[in-house]
Amino acid sequence: MKREEKASIVDDLNGKFSKAKITIVADYRGMTVSALEGLRRELKKSNSEIRVAKNTLLRRAVQGTSFEAMGEFFKGSTVVAISYDDPVAPAKVLTGFLKDHPSFEIRSASMEGRTLTSEDLVSLASLPSREVMLGNLLSVMNGVSTGFVRVLNGVPTKMVYLLNAVSEKKAQV
């Protein structure tokens, strides 16, 4: 590979690492090309991608980004999953892929400058999706205001019941 090609790959990868929310480093030794292509398609659905590059190029590409600590995990057969939106979605895809392909090994991940272990990634994957979490938050926020309105509405309602009971009592007398 020529020097210009390597510089182009490093620049491309550096731009991707700069925009990424989460990166996941894995070992793909023993995987078939068709299995990796299936993983690539699944990750594409969640605005994520998977890249295979030489470890030296990956180490150079992460320099100057928040993923610089990931350089120590670039050894052997390395594949990097990069997500630009939701960090939970690629974690779910990769942990699901891991169940079907035991030779695939997640080495580490990094999110917002923090290094995650494979166990951390599994717990991240068990979180509900962003949309579900936002829906739960909105229902809690809506419940507070609904409860407050019911409390405020309860005082005049009880007053109406009281006045109605007094009028019925006077009508009986």
Task: Judge residue 65's burial from the number of C-beta atoms within 10 Å of its C-beta, 0-12 exposed, 13-18 middle, 19 or more buried.
Answer: buried
Please identify, among 110, 127, 144, the residue that sits at the C-terminal boundary of a domain.
127
Reading across the β-sheet that carries 48-52, which strands appear in turn? 48-52, 78-83, 22-27, 105-111, 114-116
The more confidently predicted of residues 74 and 131 is 74
66 shares its domain with 99: yes
Measured distance CA(135)–CA(57) in Å, rounded: 41
49 shares its domain with 22: yes
| Tokens, residue 108 | 């580490």
47 shares its domain with 109: yes
The whole-number average pLDDT for the span 62-86 is: 87
pLDDT at 1 over 80: no
Condensed to tens digits (0 to 9), the pLDDT of residues 106-121 reads 898 988 878 888 888 8
Query: What element of type H or E holds 147?
Result: helix 130-172
pLDDT for the residue numbered 40: 92
133 shares its domain with 123: no
73 shares its domain with 12: yes
Q: How far is CA 164 from CA 150, 155, 173, in A?
A: 20, 14, 15
pLDDT at 173 over 80: no
Q: What is the CATH number of the domain that holds 77?
A: 3.30.70.1730
95 shares its domain with 148: no
pLDDT for the residue numbered 98: 87
Decide: helix, strand or coil at residue 101. coil
Measured distance CA(98)–CA(101) in Å, rounded: 5
23 shares its domain with 75: yes
Provide φ and ψ at 151, rounded to 5°: -65, -45
106 shares its domain with 155: no
pLDDT for the residue numbered 79: 92
Residue type at 95?
Answer: T
Number of domains in the chain: 2
Residue-number span of the structural domain to which 91 is assigned: 3-127
